[in-house]
């Protein structure tokens, strides 16, 4: 078989295995709870904002734009996303922030579990180890994308029935926000799969995944705090420090930018996480005694 066929079969198998297992039931519960909580929070905030906007429409719109500019340091981006429905924008922030947790809980035993049980030997004699790793990674990524889509459909449907968004806004902003979350989740899935391939014990893989994700979160948090402090001192928000780019969630503003160049750059960098993990994971499995 060609590598592409091997990757496709392993990815589909990974997707079916997770959906049909006890983990699939847990994912279904998490999806429903996540959609319910997100919908309630977003709709509540949207309702409050609409009430304030009705009283002072122009003033509130300007305050919202200024808040976005302060957070991103990009006046063009702030003016662009200020026109997006608040419920959809907040929901994007929630899903992006929770993506690492979802990836870690779902993907920590993707390869570690099969290394522990020696079931990886079934695939090692039937496919390339590089194809096996790539299929595992893409299967996890596809699963997270489906979970995110289900949460978006349920939560956005609530906002639509309440009249806070229109079908046109869902087709533009809603679709773009989902794609932003999926692209960022791909980087997290790549890191989690690489960590899982490094250990035989799933418990150790889970703890290591959380430790790595926490370290990346610290890079992003410290970088954001550094930029905020400089903005308070100088009145101008400077570029992010280099270590902030290690945090996949830090690319959400670039992905939302109206500038095609910035958006494409963010996509290329995040796909770089995936490619780098595939190369490292394939090399790691090639040397391992499975």
pLDDT band (50, 70, 90) for residue 142:
very high
Instruction: Report the pLDDT value the prediction gives residue 118, as an integer from 0 to 100.
Output: 81
pLDDT band (50, 70, 90) for residue 56:
very low
- Tell me which of 289 and 137 has the higher pLDDT: 137
Q: Is the pTM of this model over 0.75?
A: yes
Q: Given a cut of 60, is residue 53 above it in pLDDT?
A: no
Question: 104-113, 213-222, 233-242 — which is least confidently predicted?
Answer: 233-242
- Rounded to whole angstroms, how far apart are CA atoms 113 and 203? 9
pLDDT band (50, 70, 90) for residue 11:
confident
3-38 burial code (b ≥16 CB/10 A, e <16): eeebbbbbbeebbeebeeeeebeebeebbeebbeeb
- Tell me which of 60 and 86 has the higher pLDDT: 86
Q: Given a cut of 80, is residue 234 above it in pLDDT?
A: no
- Tell me which of 38 and 145 has the higher pLDDT: 145
Q: Given a cut of 60, is residue 57 above it in pLDDT?
A: no
Question: 50-59, 150-159, 231-240 — which is least confidently predicted?
Answer: 50-59
Q: What is the mean pLDDT of the chain?
A: 81
pLDDT band (50, 70, 90) for residue 23:
low
Question: 39-53, 222-236, 242-256 — which is least confidently predicted?
Answer: 39-53
Q: Given a cut of 90, is residue 30 above it in pLDDT?
A: no
Q: Given a cut of 70, is residue 86 above it in pLDDT?
A: yes
The domain locations on the chain are 3-287
């Amino acid at each position: 078989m060609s590598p592409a066929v091997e990757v496709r079969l392993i990815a589909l198998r990974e997707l079916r295995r997770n959906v049909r297992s006890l983990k699939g039931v847990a994912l279904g519960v998490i999806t429903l709870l996540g959609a319910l909580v997100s919908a309630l929070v977003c709709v509540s905030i949207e309702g409050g904002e609409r009430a304030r906007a009705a009283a002072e429409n122009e003033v509130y719109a300007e305050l919202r734009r200024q808040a976005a500019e302060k957070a991103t340091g990009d006046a063009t981006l702030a003016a662009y996303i200020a026109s997006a429905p608040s419920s959809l924008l907040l929901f994007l922030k929630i899903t992006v922030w929770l993506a690492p947790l979802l990836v870690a809980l779902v993907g920590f035993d993707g390869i570690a579990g099969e290394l522990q049980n020696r079931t990886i030997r079934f695939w090692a004699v039937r496919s390339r180890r590089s194809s096996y790793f790539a299929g595992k990674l893409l299967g996890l990524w596809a699963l997270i994308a489906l979970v995110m889509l289900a949460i978006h459909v349920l939560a956005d449907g609530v906002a639509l029935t309440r009249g806070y968004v229109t079908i046109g806004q869902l087709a533009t902003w809603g679709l773009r926000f989902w794609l932003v979350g999926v692209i960022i989740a791909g980087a997290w899935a790549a890191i989690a799969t690489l960590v899982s391939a490094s250990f035989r014990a799933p418990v150790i893989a889970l703890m290591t995944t959380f430790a790595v994700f926490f370290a990346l979160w610290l890079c992003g948090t410290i970088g954001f705090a550094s930029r905020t402090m400089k903005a308070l001192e100088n009145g101008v928000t400077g570029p992010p420090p280099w270590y902030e780019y290690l945090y996949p969630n830090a690319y959400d503003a670039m992905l939302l930018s109206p500038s095609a160049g910035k958006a494409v750059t963010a996509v290329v960098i995040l796909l770089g996480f995936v490619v780098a993990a595939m190369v490292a994971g394939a090399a790691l499995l090639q040397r391992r005694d499975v």
